[in-house]
Chain A
Amino acid sequence: MKVEKMVLASVTMKRDNVDGGSPIFICDTKEEMDKVAANLEAILDGISHALSDELYIIVKH
């Protein structure tokens, strides 16, 4: 089976909101989150999607 879309990483300020298999990056501020997500986006060739203000996921399309 070919996986078309996949969550590669989660970036969050609320540790309790995220669980599961993908790597989780916990940040203290929104700025830090943006920075980490931007780097991850570039490194992983994925897109940062905002699920809420405190939670980004990096998805490979």
Chain B
Amino acid sequence: MNEYTYPILFGVIIGVTIRLVMLRADYRQYPTYLHGKVIHISLGFIAASLGTIAVPAIMELEFTAVTFLTIAASQFREVRNMERNTLTELDAYELVPRGNTYIEGIAIAFEARNYLVIFTSLLATLSFLVWNIWVGIIISFVCFFIVRKFMSGKTLKDIVNIEYVQPHFEGAGLYVDNIYIMNIGLPQRQEEIGEYGMGFVLTPKNFNVRSTIANLGQRQAILHDISVSMGVFRDSGTPALVPLIKRDLDDGRIGVFVLPQERDKEKAIKIIGAVPVLENAIRMPSESKANKEEGGLK
């Protein structure tokens, strides 16, 4: 026991707690497994230790000790690779895959969360050592709220208007509103689609959103989330029953066609609204210099 024992213990506990808070098994269904959780909590513990120990090391004038943070960085890049590989492998066996953009988003989130743990532990330990445990606790709470607020990201309901439209056939062509989805030849399939199919039109709220929802990865994420939450009327070897999203080239609206097992319009609209806007899909054409000078896009 020395003067650093309690601050270090405090920093590690705060770090692991923050990691646990960020590790919620939600509808994205990952990580739902006990082993997946153990891996992430252990890595969170390592991250917390690294962040914590950096502070006393510097106080003891061991400046080289900071270099081990670089080891941490490469370690957590490994975490991102691990996440990406696992999810890509599993994705091949999903009835409605997540898509690479979604997977990359999840992988980045896992890496970033470990860095957040390092920062939180560092600040918590620092404030404990400089002031006292109460300041440490207050700083930890501040970190906690910042993490909650800024790391949750936007959802689709912030950027689009969602409305239900019953899909219909014109000849063999399947339409959602006036957006062409695909050609279904067999009358039997057409009946199934008439019975189970649901259509939604997502209207972008501004010009930037157009390119975001046009992103194929973002569209796949929408389909995956609906299918996970509401079930899916399909099996392997029935490509005609695949949920699809197509775009109206004129105004950038997208037509979502899904075949959920549970046909509840209100719930489906809520679920689409809660789909995360993928970081990798966000585009900001309005921020480009040319567009700013010309004076805005409609």
**A contact residues vs B (CB 8 Å cutoff):** 34, 37-38, 41-42, 45-50, 56-57, 61
Task: Give which listed residue, B171, B236, B237, B240, contacts A48 with CB less than 8 A.
Answer: B240
B188 touching A42 by the CB < 8 A rule?
no
CB contacts (< 8 Å) of B187 on chain A: these are 34
* List of B residues within 8 angstroms of A46 by Cβ: 239
Q: Tell me the chain B residues, 176-215 only, with Cβ under 8 Å from chain A.
A: 182-189
Contact of A56 among B171, B185, B237 (CB under 8 A): B185
Q: Are B237 and A45 in contact (CB under 8 A)?
A: yes
State in angstroms the CA–CA spacing of A15 and B188 once bound together: 24
Task: List A contacts of B240 (CB < 8 A).
Answer: 41, 47-48
Interface size of B in residues (CB-CB distance below 8 Å): 14
Whether B185 contacts A50 by the Cβ 8 Å rule is: yes
Interface residue? B172 (CB, 8 A): yes
A41 vs B182: C-alpha distance when bound (angstroms): 16
Q: Name, among B184, B186, B187, B189, the residue most crowded by chain A CB atoms within 10 Å (CB to CB).
A: B186
Q: How far is it, in angstroms, between the C-alpha of A53 and the C-alpha of B143 when the chains are bound?
A: 65
Please measure, in the bound complex, the distance between the C-alpha atom of A50 and the C-alpha atom of B171, giving whole angstroms: 9
Report A-chain residues with C-beta under 8 Å of the C-beta of B184: 47-50
Cβ-defined contact, A34 with B239, below 8 A: no
Residues of A contacting B171 in the complex (Cβ-Cβ under 8 angstroms) = 50
A selection of 27 A-B contacts at a CB cut-off of 8 Å is: A34-B186, A34-B187, A37-B186, A38-B186, A41-B186, A41-B189, A41-B240, A42-B237, A45-B237, A46-B239, A47-B185, A47-B239, A48-B185, A48-B186, A48-B189, A48-B240, A49-B172, A49-B184, A50-B171, A50-B172, A50-B183, A50-B184, A50-B185, A56-B185, A56-B186, A57-B185, A61-B239
Closest to B190 in A: A50
Expressed in whole angstroms, the minimum distance between the Cβ of A4 and any Cβ of chain B is 13
From residue B234, how far is it (CB to closest CB) to chain A in Å?
12
Least Cβ distance of B104 to chain A in Å? 22
Chain B residues near A41 (CB-CB < 8 A) = 186, 189, 240
B239 touches A37 (CB 8 A): no
Cβ-defined contact, A45 with B239, below 8 A: yes
Q: How far is the CB of B207 from chain A (nearest CB, A)?
A: 31
Within 8 A of A (CB), among B231-254: 236-237, 239-240
The answer to whether B172 touches A34, judged by C-beta atoms less than 8 angstroms apart, is no
- Which residues of chain A have C-beta atoms less than 8 A from B189's C-beta? 41, 48
A24-B183 Cα distance, complex, nearest whole Å: 20
Kindly list the 5 A-B residue pairs having the minimum CB-CB distance in the complex, ordered from nearest.
A50-B172, A50-B185, A48-B185, A49-B183, A47-B240
Closest-by-CB residue of B relative to A44 is B237
Question: Could you say which residues of chain A place their CB within 8 Å of the CB of B172?
Answer: 49-50
Give CA–CA (A37, B188) in the complex, Å: 11
| Neighbouring A residues of B237 by C-beta, 8 Å | 42, 45
B172 and chain A: residue at smallest CB distance: A50
Q: Which residues of A contact B183 (CB under 8 A)?
A: 47, 49-50
Distance, CA A38 to CA B191, complexed state (A): 13
Chain B residue, CB-CB nearest to A60: B239
Q: Please name all residues of chain B whose beta carbon is closer than 8 Å to the beta carbon of A45 when the two chains form the complex.
A: 236-237, 239
Name the residue of chain B whose CB is nearest to the CB of A49. B183
**B239 lies within 8 A of A49 (CB):** no
Residue of chain B at shortest CB distance from A57 = B185
Structural contact, A38 and B188, CB atoms closer than 8 A: yes
